[in-house]
Amino acid sequence: MTLAARLRGIPSWQVTLGVALLGLGFLVAAQLASEGPRVRYTTQERSPLVETATDLQADQEALKAAILDLRTRIQAAEQAGQGSAALVKDLNDQLQSARIAAGLIPLTGSGIVLQIEDSQEPADPEGNMQDLLVGARDLRTIVEELWQAGAEAVAVNGERMTPTTAVIDIGPSILVNSAYLAGPYQVTAVGPDDLYARLSASPGFVDFIRARAEAWGLRVSIAEPESVDMPAFAGTVTLRYARPQASATTAAPAP
Amino acid sequence: MHQRRNQLTIATVAFVLGLLVVVQLRTQASGAAFAALSSQELTVLVANLNDRNDALRGEVAALDRELSTLTANTQRGEVSVDELRADLRRVRLYAGIDPATGPGVVITIRGPIDGTGVEDLVNELRNAGAEAMAIETVRLVPGVVTAGAAGVVTVDGVPLADPFELSAIGAPSKLTGSLTRSGGIIAQLAATQPDVVVEVTPLDRVDVPATDRELVPSHARPRL
């Protein structure tokens, strides 16, 4: 009997049940996995403040999507400009290169993805609970080590590291750019083929693994996919205080 | 009879499945992290989200205006050279390709600070809204790291003298306040690195040089 014929022989309700059970198993696992040591309060205690924060986060997702969409449309409109072709083309080329430099264009290239998660070890009643959680300082150390290993672009959970990016703790969650992130944290880096080798050979990174993963049980894993996707920065690049210095001429050479 | 029992089994599984999907989605959507925050932390978070969403709204409005101007020019058959130049200036300034000037602070650091201490100061300044920064003549852009043990610190591989200066452009009072508040980063440094002296001077004009780094990645290309 061929496989297809055998499959046809199975009653369709069994297939349905099989698929449903598979989905059930996956969801039970996902649910259990997402209940880490951070969950201390039950849903019944969820306050209006949590609702407000959740709503504000949804607003933020919409605003970021709007920014990315507007930038794409502006870029298209700028490139559609007809007439005095040479000047416009030169300006557009400079703009494209400046936007890539500023992290405003999504990229794809060679690189690595490092994932770090909270420890699953039981909290020592005498010790500090914070030691078992991934903190802003942990993420900053990883990002600094990646830069030193030769990374050319880095993002954490979809938030691109830019000239204005701060990474700070707010209670047990971590603020990066405008976004509050929760674990597991995925640090994506674009860089040379030996990025992983250089990172794992760095004394600073070895110290970090010893101090945080080995001593406290933070779970660190590194993947080297065929290619990694680097998100664009969906934040504000309009500076309110900084201006170009008078002597700096940034526009294209006069036609 | 047999058929009915099958249907009952499937119905039960479907019900449990649906329940789990909802629970799972709610856990993901509302963020387990939010539920774990104290009300004090949540208050800080909500205030922060409000501020940052306002800034994002401002950016959306500015981009909307820019797009309208470009579209209007195209309809009139005009080329938007001025808009292109303005856009280029804005992006290059943000990225660190051009030198910047503006109000801000100059921070003088004396004594054997370590690289992490300097990175923590820089991070705190960014959180307080610093728009452009440099340590001595090195513009702080992605990829530039201050590293090293106490007293032998380098920025982007260049050794730093003692004392050295960190310049930041932004609202002077806000930058100063965030560093010097009680329990702030300078207080923390005083506790962990007591031989280090950090002095903050607000100024009407701070100059920050351009980066000399190549900022366009050579191991990646734009994703369409």
Q: What percent of chain B has pLDDT over 70?
A: 92
Q: How large is the ipTM?
A: 0.83
- Rounded Cα–Cα distance for residues A212 and B129 (Å): 30
Give the integer Cα–Cα distance in Å for B119 and B159: 15
Residue numbers in A near B48 (CB within 8 A): 170, 175
Residue B136: what residue type?
Answer: E
Contact A28, B5 (CB under 8 A): no
Q: What is the pTM of this model?
A: 0.81
Domain boundary assignment for chain B? 35-94, 100-208
Question: pLDDT averaged over chain B?
Answer: 89
Beta-carbon contacts of B16 under 8 Å, excluding residues fewer than 6 positions away, are A24
Tell me, what's the pLDDT at A24? 73
Residues of chain A with pLDDT under 70: 1-10, 30-46, 81-84, 247-255
**Spatial distance between the Cα atoms of B89 and B68, rounded to a whole number of angstroms:** 19
Q: Which CATH number is A107-230 given?
A: 3.30.70.1880
Tokens describing residue A181 = 């992130």
Angle of helix B115-127 versus helix A136-148 axis, rounded to 10: 110
Residues forming beta bridges with residue B106, ordered by sequence position: B167, B201
Cα(B17)–Cα(A27) distance, integer angstroms:
8
pLDDT of residue A39: 46
Tokens of B59: 């950016």
* DSSP per-residue string spanning A227-252: -EEEPPP-S----SS-EE-TT---SP
- So what's the pLDDT on residue A147? 97
Question: In this predicted structure, what is the pLDDT of residue A255?
Answer: 37
The pLDDT confidence band at residue B78, using thresholds 50, 70 and 90, is: confident
Who has greater pLDDT, B62 or B76?
B62
- A–B: how many Cβ contacts below 8 A? 352
Q: Hey, are the CB atoms on A204 and B30 less than 8 Å from each other?
A: no
Which tens digits make up the pLDDT trace of B102-126?
A: 999 999 999 999 999 999 999 999 9
Sign of CA dihedral A201, A203, A207, A210: positive
Report whether the peptide linkage leading into residue A231 is cis, meaning its omega lies within 30 degrees of zero. no
Minimal C-alpha gap between A133 and chain B (Å): 12
Of A161-165, B45-49, B140-144, B167-171, where does mean pLDDT reach its minimum?
A: B45-49
Contacts of B98 (CB under 8 A, 6+ apart): A244, A245, A248, A250, B89, B92, B210
The answer to whether residue A231 neighbours chain B at the CB level (below 8 Å) is no
What confidence score (pLDDT) does residue A44 get?
Answer: 46
Q: With beta carbons under 8 A apart, name residues in chain A contacting B67.
A: 70, 73-74, 77
Window 70-129 of A, Cβ < 8 Å to B: 70-71, 73-74, 77-78, 80-84, 87-88, 91-92, 94-111
Cβ pair A170:B23 closer than 8 A = no
Q: How far apart are CA A205 and CA A211, in angstroms?
A: 10
Confidence of residue B220 (pLDDT cuts 50, 70, 90): very high
Q: Verify whether the Cβ–Cβ distance B132 to A239 is below 8 Å.
A: yes
Among the partner residues A54, A71, A237, nearest to B90 by beta-carbon distance: A237
Query: Which SS3 state, helix, strand or coil, does residue A111 take?
Result: strand
3-state secondary structure string, chain B? CHHHHHHHHHHHHHHHHHHHHHHHHHHHHHCHHHHCCCHHHHHHHHHHHHHHHHHHHHHHHHHHHHHHHHHHHHHCCCCCHHHHHHHHHHHHHHHCCCCEEEEEEEEEEECCCCHHHHHHHHHHHHHCCCCEEEECCEECCCCCCEECCCCCCEECCEECCCCEEEEEECCHHHHHHHHHCCCCHHHHHHHHCCCCEEEEEEEEEEEECCCCCCCCCCCEEECC
User: What torsion, rounded to 10 degrees, do the Cα atoms A115, A117, A121, A124 define?
Assistant: 130
Task: Give A 171-230 residues with CB within 8 A of chain B.
Answer: 171-173, 175, 178, 180-183, 190-193, 204, 229-230
- At residue B29, the pLDDT reads 47
Question: Which residue ranges make up each domain of chain A?
Answer: 47-102, 107-230
What pLDDT score does A7 carry?
58
Q: Cβ contact (<8 Å) for B56 and A31?
A: no
Amino acid at residue number B221:
R
Q: Are A173 and A114 in contact (CB under 8 A)?
A: no
Please report where in the chains the tokens 């029992």 appear, as a residue: B5
Residues A121 and A221: their CA atoms lie apart, in Å, by: 17
Residue B96 has pLDDT above 60, yes or no: yes
Closest residue to B95, CB basis, from A60, A163, A171: A163
CATH superfamily of B100-208: Protein of unknown function DUF881 (3.30.70.1880)
User: Chain A partners of B13 at a C-beta cutoff of 8 Å?
Assistant: 17, 20-21, 24
Q: Which of A209, A222, A37 is nearest to A120 (CA)?
A: A37
The pLDDT of residue B171 is above 90 = yes
